[in-house]
Amino acid sequence: MNDIRNILKCYFVAGSQDCDRPSANRADNLLSVLEQALQGGITCFQFRDKGKNSLADFPEQQRALAAQCRELCRRYGVPFFVDDDLDLAVALNADGIHVGQEDISPAEIKRKISKPMIIGLSAHNLQQLSQAQAEGVADYCGLGPVFPTLSKEKHQAPTGMECIGEARKAGITIPVVMIGGIKQEHIKPLIAQGADGVAVISAITQADDAKQAAAALKQAACIS
């Protein structure tokens, strides 16, 4: 589990919909931002391409972009995850997959895959964390959103900063990465309460300097 906890330190999540800066296209923007983030030291990347302005209606382009993201991650030796698409994760030989409460279950994923794959599960409260730990299939949970976020069109009620501390006091030991509106100043308190890392989208995609932003986030997560 120590390896997984290290992987979660500075977890970058993004898709073409998150990179709308002026450029040739969003796909090129994502690849540019991802490489800068990799140079800055992110510890894993999740390809989450869905919703408005994504390539969801163009599956061939989406798959090609995912493959390019995977190759960038491989070049930098950083784990590559796919959000909620087991077929794509298997086809690309992804290092992991992350699913939500209403997606394919971790147990079903285990039954369908033939090679080891890290499985992440979204959780929004202590009950879901406890259930994930009891089932013993998910390798980690993404807990949140900590704060309201614009990165998802619909999201659960914010958990607040204290949820991870309450979870640890309640005996939750499964690796947990916090997500949802997190900024650099939130990282040290979250780690101090028991978070293994933080997952961010806009803190990197909307930064003036993605490499610098990633480096600062990783530093805060690793020295807290």
Catalytic residues: 48, 122, 152
Q: Is 201 annotated as a binding residue?
A: yes
Q: Is 147 annotated as a binding residue?
A: no
Q: Please tell me the distance from the alpha carbon of residue 57 to that of residue 36, in angstroms, as a whole number.
A: 27
Q: Is 32 annotated as a binding residue?
A: no
Q: Is 152 annotated as a binding residue?
A: yes
Q: Is 173 annotated as a binding residue?
A: no
Q: Give the other-Cβ count within 10 Å of 57's Cβ.
A: 7
Question: Would you say how long the chain is, in residues?
Answer: 224
Q: Is 48 annotated as a binding residue?
A: yes
Helical axes 26-40 vs 210-222, angle rounded to 10°: 40
Helix (H, G, I), strand (E, B) or coil at 157: coil
Contact, 59 vs 94, CB < 8 A?
no
Q: Is 202 annotated as a binding residue?
A: yes
Return binding residues.
46-50, 83-84, 103, 122, 149-152, 181, 201-202
Return binding residues for Mg(2+).
84, 103
